[in-house]
Amino acid sequence: MNITVPDTNDVTTSDQTRSLPVTSTEPIERLLETASLYLHIPFCHTRCYYCDFNTYAGMLPLREPYVRALLTEIELAGKMAQLADGSPRRSRTVFFGGGTPSLLSVAQINRLLQACFTSFAVDAEAEITMEANPGTLTQEQLVGLRSAGVNRLSMGAQSFDAALLNALGRIHTPDEITQAVTYARAAGFTSINLDFMFGLPQQTMQHWRDTLKRALDLRPEHFSLYSLIIEEGTPFYTWAHEGRITPGDEDLCADMYEYADELLQQAGYLNYEISNWALPGHHSRHNLTYWQNLPYFGLGAEPIRTSVDAASRTNAIPSSMARSSKLSASPKWKARSWSAHRRCPRPPSWPCALLWGCISQPLSSASLCHLPNLWATVCVSSKKRDC
């Protein structure tokens, strides 16, 4: 079974939205023998008012012990994933998510990457992404990150309106978004994603138009656009129930999405997944790993969901920051193993998220069950995939 890569020559922009080659031409059996890597970095300066992710503010002194624990975990994951002949398992993508991974030092990021390179056979052309807050980036830092091997940035810009940024609890300014992209270009980054949110309290269509115009002026290679979802346990949830804020109108949200989709496609961006647009060749390979049900490890202080069967969960790693400093050379691991004696997962259904088919035929249960182990995998919110 091979991945189908449609020919995009001599097609219109509207045709391209359905035929963008979104993945590798490798046989699916080979892709199922790889493991993408997600490294969760949960530290933040402050916690945004809408955030329900596993993040921690005011705990920056724990960065170094956390990195040491994560280094141990990467080594253990590499051993766990070794092929039958003892060689390291191949990895196609590495993603630093958070939290705010850019709060780690360049030296700490470099150590984590070197551990990945040692424990896994990371492709020479692997996509290595780091999420970043525009307000935490410097020119020197970006040069160092690029030299360490990071080749893709995903910045949580959210809006170009200062009042809306303040209302979200963001620490950066609109000008710092532009400055961060300028610094990244000077450092040699040729693949940049910008995240933006719509459906925000008090956000108007004009706010949205202005934000997208300023964003397009920066010509990032990738856009991720998310509608605000107010989650229980966040300040926004409390304020909404108290009547202090009003969520965005659903019809207005739909209009914002349609406006963005039309604008970005006119600008040459291809809508390859429901919340993601990319210039040709700049889709997020790591993001597609999730949607295409390919194997991946989730490492760090984060609850975990299995990549093959989303209904089954396993805590394969310490899930709380309080335990990070206690992770020694021999932590207790729990691993789920699929074999002929286990129920095979249901075949995945990509069309619900991907906007065209990219695999020549659905994967059968049997084709998934040859995996020697179902390894630990990252928990990603259904509202926001890593981009």
Per-residue pLDDT of 117-137, as tens digits, reads 999 999 999 999 999 999 999
| Structural domain contains residue 158 | yes
Which pLDDT score, from 0 to 100, does residue 302 have?
67
Which pLDDT score, from 0 to 100, does residue 46 have?
84
| Structural domain contains residue 257 | yes
Which pLDDT score, from 0 to 100, does residue 70 have?
96
| Structural domain contains residue 9 | no
* CATH code of the domain containing 117: 3.20.20.70
Which pLDDT score, from 0 to 100, does residue 141 have?
97
| Structural domain contains residue 381 | no
| Other CB atoms within 10 A of residue 135 CB | 19
Q: Are strands 276-278 and 270-273 parallel, antiparallel or unpaired?
A: antiparallel
What's the pTM value of the predicted model, to 2 decimals? 0.78
| Structural domain contains residue 87 | yes
Q: Where on the phi/psi map is residue 59: left (φ > 0), alpha (ψ -120 to 50), or beta?
A: alpha
The residue whose two tokens read 């080979």 is: 30
Which pLDDT score, from 0 to 100, does residue 258 have?
97
| Structural domain contains residue 14 | no
| Structural domain contains residue 6 | no
| Other CB atoms within 10 A of residue 25 CB | 9
Q: Where are the alpha helices (DSSP H) in the chain?
A: 13-19, 28-31, 63-80, 106-119, 139-148, 162-168, 174-187, 205-218, 235-242, 250-266, 285-291, 365-368
Q: Where on the phi/psi map is residue 67: left (φ > 0), alpha (ψ -120 to 50), or beta?
A: alpha
CA pair distance 167, 201, nearest whole angstrom: 8
Please, which residues have CB within 8 angstroms of residue 121's CB and are 6 or more apart in sequence?
87, 88, 89, 90, 91
CA pair distance 171, 156, nearest whole angstrom: 11
- State which residues form the domain around 106: 32-350+361-368
Contact between 8 and 22 under an 8 Å Cβ cutoff? The reply is: no
The residue whose two tokens read 């115009």 is: 213
Classified as helix, coil or strand, 338 is coil
Q: What is the CA radius of gyration of the chain?
A: 20
Phi/psi at 172 (5° precision): -100, 165
| Structural domain contains residue 2 | no
Contact between 134 and 157 under an 8 Å Cβ cutoff? The reply is: yes
CA pair distance 159, 211, nearest whole angstrom: 6
Residue 223, H or E segment? strand 222-227
| Other CB atoms within 10 A of residue 293 CB | 21
| Other CB atoms within 10 A of residue 328 CB | 8
Low-confidence ranges of the chain (pLDDT < 70): 1-24, 302-387
Which pLDDT score, from 0 to 100, does residue 350 have?
41
Task: Identify the CA nearest to 245 among candidates 50, 57, 84.
Answer: 50
Count the domains in the chain: 1
The sign of the torsion formed by the CA atoms of 89, 276, 2, 373 equals positive
Q: Are strands 121-132 and 90-98 parallel, antiparallel or unpaired?
A: parallel
| Other CB atoms within 10 A of residue 362 CB | 12
The residue whose two tokens read 């997944």 is: 273
Which pLDDT score, from 0 to 100, does residue 315 have?
31
